[in-house]
Amino acid sequence: MCGITGFFRHDAATAPDAAALDAIGETIRHRGPDAFGSTVHDGVGLHNRRLAIVDLSPDGNQPIWNDDRTLAIVFNGEVYNFEELRRELEASGVRFRSRTDTEVVLRLYERFRDDRPERILPKLNGFFAFAIHDRRSGSLFIARDRMGVKPLFYAETARGLSFGSELKTLLAEGSLAREIDPCALLDYLCLRYIPAPRTIWRDARKLPAGHWLKAKRGATGKVAIEVAKWWDLPFGEVRDEAPAKLAEELWELLVDSVRLRLIADVPLGAFLSGGLDSSAVVAAMAQLRGRDVHAVTIGFKGWDQSEVDHARVVADALQIRHVVAELEPAAIELVDSLAHFFDEPFSDPSAIPTWLLSKEARKSVTVALAGDGGDECFAGYRRYRFDLAEHRVRALLPGPLFRALFALGGKVWPRGAWVPRSLRAATTLANLGRDPAAAYFRSVSQMEVGEARALLHPELRAAVAGYDPSAELRRWYGASPSAEPLARAQYADFHTWLPDYILTKSDRATMAASLEGREPLLDYRLVEFSAKLPTSLKVREGVGKWLFRRAVDARLPAHTIARGKQGFAPPLKEWVKRELAAGRGIAAPACADRAAVDAAVARHRAGQVDLSEPLYALKVLDAFERRWARAPAAGS
């Protein structure tokens, strides 16, 4: 686990030296506090900050070179099947100088460099973002793992190409202008995050999950890049087999996935929330290690939604070591600190407890297994069930007239914190008046596009007048290999929600604590297995994760199996209420409309509607602006 950064200059003479690149890499020291290194040749620079996990010796320090020093690599992540790949390479005569997975990737690339080097990517089981400089061909090859567990940002500027594990490295390199993308702001206000390939900066991009990038100087001497997708989900291939057989296969896949993720030369543990996914991961660890499992749980003191008691039930049943930390609830003050690590606006409030959990875990372990991905794979979110129900209703009542009636019903149905939860049907009614992709976009949004647009400063509002924030989700929803409604929603989530929301939170929060997080439920074999399951084995009788529950049924307490999804959410409503009661209010970011923000606060105070999430999003946006948008660019 590491952090990487680098550049490919149009003019090699303008390239910073290795010492300057080391200084840029210092901005991501938290990702790799154990060692660092840079190399600059032919206008290409590579830098690595290392968090040593496997082969703790200096032999594992990066960049790593091949024997004739025509290839150099910097790598972030883990390749779990590297020992198997190493044996295959050794059988063909390849000799290694370290025990690292990084050198295995380099040697694989060396074998395919004259053909299609991207052919190495399907051989890798793991999570990664890496860059290889091929001095012989004068090219740079960058790749990101299938799910997007590890991040990779890049920017094409007047100086050439720059890239890094975090946006702050691009700013520190000095080529990227701090010019905010108004469309990204609208994305953020609607979704809480900014979906790839956009970033908050107009000229910077996220390399999407499962993609590679090749860079090379063209005939004009300018660096030209090519980006392509190298992996996709096999939706559309449906397995029609006995549920009992599939459930057993699922469990065996999970256990093997966990087995691979137990490889480490440092202390290793797990996050345990008490929910189904993290509990299943810990149960698989217990099957492999017995009682020698270290699990960590956190909660907030005095909060009735804490999952600490549920986690204790699992830990006691499995007889493992369990550490519980209960924290003071006034954690919203950490928003300013998180702005440094996230680099762009990101308003999932569970980022705060995830960071606190990571810091607590780091006191005793360097690697922690987590349950991320189970909801996306096996349809655990409530919105999947609602979406399926909406599809059934649309099939019964087709036609534009009915859509118009439902859309009208969504507008006039009473809204607000005072409305009983069982009667809050406005979103469902409005969704029935939309096409399926638009309805699903609304289900994953925190506010309507019009509401989000109204919060922007008038100049920015005009700049996004013709922009549709649902376009990226619509693109993936329509590109699904399966026409099944659930498959379409999951396919869209795997290309937007999962990498850019769930995994972004996990990566930044764990790496802020210099902790490596591993996600067994996102082993590509498990993901491909889940994609081939029919809808009836994911959602049945109004319950999600049907087959997954059956697979872990004999391994966990019945209470854990039967529980609904709670989520790792902090007491956001209480946080916002306390902020307003303390007289601090919600600061209006410079990019927001002050009058619109004040009106939203007034509506929230009056109890007309619960705007805790949008108000929190504005607080996060203000913290981002104060940390990043108003500061001068480093090196400029």
Average pLDDT, the chain: 91
What are 141-180's pLDDT values in tens digits?
A: 999 999 999 999 999 999 999 999 999 999 999 999 999 9
Give catalytic residue positions: 2
Cα of first residue to Cα of last residue in the chain, in angstroms, is: 30
* pLDDT of 114: 85
User: What per-residue confidence (pLDDT) applies to 391?
Assistant: 86
Which homologous superfamily is 2-229 in? Aminohydrolase, N-terminal nucleophile (Ntn) domain (3.60.20.10)
Put the strands of the sheet holding 516-518 in their side by side order.
321-327, 294-300, 268-271, 367-369, 516-518
pLDDT digits (tens, 9 = 90+) for 82-140: 999 999 999 999 999 999 999 999 999 999 998 888 999 999 999 999 999 999 999 99
Average pLDDT over every residue of 521-546: 96
Both tokens of 315, joined, read 């830990």
CATH number (3.40.50.620, 1.10.3720.10, 1.10.8.590, 3.90.650.10) of 243-379+514-562 reads 3.40.50.620
Domain boundaries, the chain: 2-229, 243-379+514-562
Rounded CA separation 60/62 (Å): 6
pTM: 0.93
- The sheet carrying 44-50 orders its strands as 35-41, 44-50, 2-9, 160-164, 153-157, 204-206
- Token pair, residue 294, equals 């270290």
Average pLDDT estimate for 390-411: 65
pLDDT at 213: 98
SS3 readout for 190-201:
HHCCCCCCECCE
Residue 374 · residue 276 · CB < 8 Å: yes
Position 422 scores a pLDDT of 38
**449 contacts 469 by C-beta, under 8 angstroms:** yes
pLDDT of residue 406: 52
**Of 301-305, 330-334, 370-374, which gets the smallest average pLDDT?**
301-305
Decide if pLDDT at 482 tops 80: yes
pLDDT, mean of residues 252-281:
96
